[in-house]
């Protein structure tokens, strides 16, 4: 009789375990992924994978896309803003939605860091996506995954590539203003500095050039490129790599004093279309930021060859951009029982 009780108990346990795995397929063993914390020896390995919400919130990606379509139709620039949010999130504590947290008694918000202040935007779109997802699937889809899905959706809706997106990130309970200041590459970076900051995240030169191609959409503030126009090397002279006509056009937008918040497109030829024109503009001396220009002229590694290759072959750029976005999205995610799924992306639960 005892044997049958044990056998029955084992079957019940196995059934319940299978049911939990189906409802929350991330709670399993050995799923393929990159960067997921392993915990103690013998602990389960929680990894990211595309079907994470297949059973718990199958409509998640449709909800994200429906909000994005309206937001980007209303303001095409929003696509670049949302892509940038994901980037500025992942480079700080990993892809954990720490960038979305507002100041509170326990949080010093990353929104006030030098790279983010008066610059990062799109938070209201993330709020709307989260509200819709909470109605459909309460406390299921993380803010970190919303950022990743919004970045991919924004790329697609701007005419760029899609990719199979690993999911299952959880949200941090902390933010780091200091790390945000130190880890996000500044617009006046040298090439060596860019390479170092990307290597710190496990990203190589190919990822650096491909992800820089995200500048094919969006704008930058005058403050981020003023140095190139008036005092590039501390000698009160402009950056000699700037094409002359382009240089004079930028001066009309960005005066020597004041105007710091005036904006200029990163890719003036097709500022809301995701294409490879960004790389062609760099070759023509019409890259807006120093961090764009040095990919060609920095004389470190193979970045010049990559710029030329992507300028020549848009499909090659699209394929690598997708690969590099997946790689970036896998930087140190919180998984399993680490972190939480926030009810409100701006606040810890």
- The reply to whether 145 sits in an annotated binding site is no
- The reply to whether 89 sits in an annotated binding site is yes
- The reply to whether 185 sits in an annotated binding site is yes
The pLDDT, as a whole number, for residue 44 is: 53
- The reply to whether 96 sits in an annotated binding site is yes
Whether pLDDT at 158 is above 70: yes
Whether pLDDT at 7 is above 90: no
- The reply to whether 98 sits in an annotated binding site is yes
Task: Choose the weakest-confidence range: 23-32, 54-63, 131-140, 173-182.
Answer: 23-32
The pLDDT, as a whole number, for residue 45 is: 55
- The reply to whether 81 sits in an annotated binding site is no
C-alpha to C-alpha distance for 275 and 314, rounded to whole angstroms: 7
C-alpha to C-alpha distance for 182 and 342, rounded to whole angstroms: 26
* 58-81 average pLDDT score: 98
The pLDDT, as a whole number, for residue 46 is: 80
- The reply to whether 215 sits in an annotated binding site is yes
Whether pLDDT at 38 is above 70: no
- What is the torsional sign of CA 314, 318, 319, 321? positive
* 98-116 average pLDDT score: 97
Please identify every residue annotated as catalytic: 88
pLDDT digits (tens, 9 = 90+) for 223-236: 999 999 999 999 99
- The reply to whether 238 sits in an annotated binding site is no
Domains of the chain listed by start with CATH number: 59-182 (1.10.520.10), 185-330 (1.10.420.10)
Whether pLDDT at 174 is above 80: yes
The pLDDT, as a whole number, for residue 301 is: 85
The pLDDT, as a whole number, for residue 39 is: 33
The pLDDT, as a whole number, for residue 21 is: 40
The predicted model scores a pTM of: 0.88
- The reply to whether 216 sits in an annotated binding site is yes
| Residue 299's pLDDT band (cuts 50, 70, 90) | confident
* 263-289 average pLDDT score: 97
Q: Tokens 């030829």, residue?
A: 269
C-alpha to C-alpha distance for 226 and 36, rounded to whole angstroms: 40
Give the mean pLDDT of the chain.
Answer: 89
Q: Higher confidence at residue 35 or residue 273?
A: 273
C-alpha to C-alpha distance for 69 and 62, rounded to whole angstroms: 10
| Residue 22's pLDDT band (cuts 50, 70, 90) | very low
The pLDDT, as a whole number, for residue 32 is: 31
Q: Higher confidence at residue 327 or residue 38?
A: 327
The pLDDT, as a whole number, for residue 14 is: 40
The pLDDT, as a whole number, for residue 197 is: 97
| Residue 69's pLDDT band (cuts 50, 70, 90) | very high
């Amino acid at each position: 009789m005892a044997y049958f009780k044990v056998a029955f108990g084992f079957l019940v346990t196995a059934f319940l375990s299978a049911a939990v795995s189906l409802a929350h397929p991330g709670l399993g063993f050995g799923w393929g992924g990159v960067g997921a914390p392993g915990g103690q020896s013998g602990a389960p390995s929680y990894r990211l994978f595309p079907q994470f919400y297949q059973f718990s919130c199958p409509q998640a990606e449709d909800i994200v896309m429906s909000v994005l379509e309206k937001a980007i139709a209303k303001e095409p620039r929003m696509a670049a803003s949302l892509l940038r949010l994901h980037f500025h999130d992942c480079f700080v504590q990993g892809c954990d939605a720490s960038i979305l947290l507002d100041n509170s008694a326990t949080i010093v918000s990353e929104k006030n860091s030098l790279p983010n202040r008066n610059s990062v935007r799109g938070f209201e779109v993330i709020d709307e996506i989260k509200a819709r997802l909470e109605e459909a699937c309460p406390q299921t889809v993380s803010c970190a995954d919303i950022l990743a899905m919004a970045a991919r959706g924004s790329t697609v809706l701007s005419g760029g590539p899609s990719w199979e997106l690993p999911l299952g990130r959880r949200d941090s309970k902390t933010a780091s203003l200091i790390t945000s200041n130190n880890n996000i590459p500044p617009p006046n970076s040298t090439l060596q500095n860019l390479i170092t900051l990307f290597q710190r995240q496990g990203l190589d030169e190919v990822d650096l050039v491909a992800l820089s191609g995200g500048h094919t959409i969006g704008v930058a503030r005058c403050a981020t490129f003023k140095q190139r126009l008036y005092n590039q090397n501390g000698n009160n002279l402009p950056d000699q790599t700037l094409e002359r006509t382009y240089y004079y056009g930028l001066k009309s937008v960005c005066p020597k004093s004041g105007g710091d918040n005036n904006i200029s497109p990163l890719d003036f030829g097709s500022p809301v279309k995701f294409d490879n024109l960004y790389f062609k503009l760099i070759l023509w001396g019409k890259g807006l930021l120093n961090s764009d220009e040095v990919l060609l002229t920095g004389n470190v590694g193979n970045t010049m060859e990559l710029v030329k290759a992507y300028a020549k072959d848009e499909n090659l750029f699209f394929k690598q951009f997708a690969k590099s976005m997946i790689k970036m999205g896998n930087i140190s995610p919180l998984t399993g029982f680490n972190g939480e799924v926030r009810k409100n992306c701006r606040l810890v639960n």
